[in-house]
Amino acid sequence: MSATVGVDVGGTKLLAVALDEEGRVLAADRADTPQNLVPGRAATPDDAGGAEDASVGGSGLVESSPGGIPMSSGALLGAIAGLVRRVTEQSAAEVSALGVGVPGLVDDSGVLHFAPNLPMGEGVDFSGGLRAMVGVKRVLIDNDATCATLGEWSAGAARGADDALVVTLGTGIGGGLVAAGRLVRGAHGFAGEIGHVVVDPGGPLCSCGKRGCWERYASGSGLARLAREAALAGRIEAAVRLAGGDPEAVRGEHVTRAAAAGDEHAKAVIEELAWWLALGLSNLVSILDPELVVLGGGLMSAGDLVLLPTRRSFLELTGARRARCEVPVVLAALGERAGAVGAALLARHWHRSDPRLAPGSLPPGPLEP
């Protein structure tokens, strides 16, 4: 039996699936992303679990392997390869193709050039490295949100739509667009970097080097920042207790747990996040006019806790809404697997030389969740 494996690479986790020839999920597994280390760059507190500096030995440098690849980059490739081997063994299938979605700007040769939330991956030849490690000839690397968009469009919440916006909310924010029945990649393949649209020029510093990027307010790391600010101000005692009593240790997961338990102060932090999320969505809808907006990524595992206040603020913020057709804001149907499923479909069905991938070239789904 032949299978295609897809891997979604995030700032904190790796997730892989193996699909059979009919598009059914044969196996799925996950692993932690190795620590984000890169020469000369320190991780932000949100990305490094609160550490001021994630460099080795405080030197700001990363040791190199004998082959010249920074050890952190080698660890990343090794972790991906190990995960691919695990799902391959679990599926008991022969892997014919491998697709990998990574967060950032990926060129046509599979090299990641800019990745604020995965700095150790910058400059890495994922295609060549994984081809050698895994032994699969057909390896395709693309942006993780582009992969998630394909997954949701072909077999998820956006199936059948000719115009759709998919927003992935994880460590950062990614985006993908379907327009006139085609997956949009842009002139250089870099379309969809919506997380680095500036919503507050005087806002906090982003890992990309700018200030006030959307993802500093409306992503998983954005929630962590809002949560710590509220904790230090003494506003979310329930979340602080969940974090062991240390306000500096409060993370987004502590806020969502406290909010789910009914804590009104934690709910207020979620409402603030939802307002910022809705602000960006309303701007994008004004520009793109999609049929629907699909929200996915790890942050949306909170479900209605985030979705409902986002919908409310979205209706309030969207301009000329009485003249517009309603644009539904919905959860990704494939959940956290959307990126991995989309990466597998890309590897099986798409040649980067022809970016006009259409639904007719994909299996008839829906895929099993």
The per-residue pLDDT for range 15-57, each reduced to its tens digit, is 999 998 888 899 999 999 887 544 333 334 343 333 222 222 2
Task: Clarify whether residues 73 and 11 are in a common domain.
Answer: yes
Structure tokens at 364: 């008839």
Q: What is the pTM of this model?
A: 0.82
- The answer to whether position 29 is within a domain reads yes
Name the residue among 219, 176, 238 with its Cα closest to residue 310: 219
Phi, psi of 46 (to 5 degrees): -65, -35
- How many structural domains does the chain have? 2
Q: Which of 35-39, 50-54, 204-208, 339-343 has the highest mean pLDDT?
A: 339-343
pLDDT attached to residue 51: 27
**Strand blocks (E) in the chain:** 2-9, 13-19, 25-32, 94-102, 105-106, 112-114, 139-143, 164-169, 173-179, 182-184, 292-296, 329-331
pLDDT attached to residue 355: 41
pLDDT tens-digit readout, 100-138: 999 888 877 778 888 888 888 888 888 888 988 988 888
Task: Clarify whether residues 172 and 293 are in a common domain.
Answer: yes
Q: Which residues span the domain enclosing 285?
A: 161-332
Distance CA 208, CA 214 (A): 12
* CATH number for 108: 3.30.420.40
Task: Clarify whether residues 129 and 198 are in a common domain.
Answer: no
pLDDT attached to residue 238: 95
Distance CA 156, CA 323 (A): 29
Banded model confidence at residue 12, pLDDT cuts 50, 70, 90: confident
Distance CA 345, CA 3 (A): 11
Distance CA 220, CA 168 (A): 10
- The answer to whether position 366 is within a domain reads no
Task: Clarify whether residues 75 and 136 are in a common domain.
Answer: yes
Task: Clarify whether residues 308 and 166 are in a common domain.
Answer: yes
pLDDT attached to residue 312: 95
Task: Clarify whether residues 218 and 273 are in a common domain.
Answer: yes
| Pair 106, 143: CB distance under 8 Å | yes
- The answer to whether position 369 is within a domain reads no
pLDDT attached to residue 57: 26
- The answer to whether position 315 is within a domain reads yes
- The answer to whether position 154 is within a domain reads no
Task: Clarify whether residues 263 and 351 are in a common domain.
Answer: no
Distance CA 115, CA 76 (A): 14
CA dihedral of 143, 66, 75, 89, whole degrees rounded to 10: 90
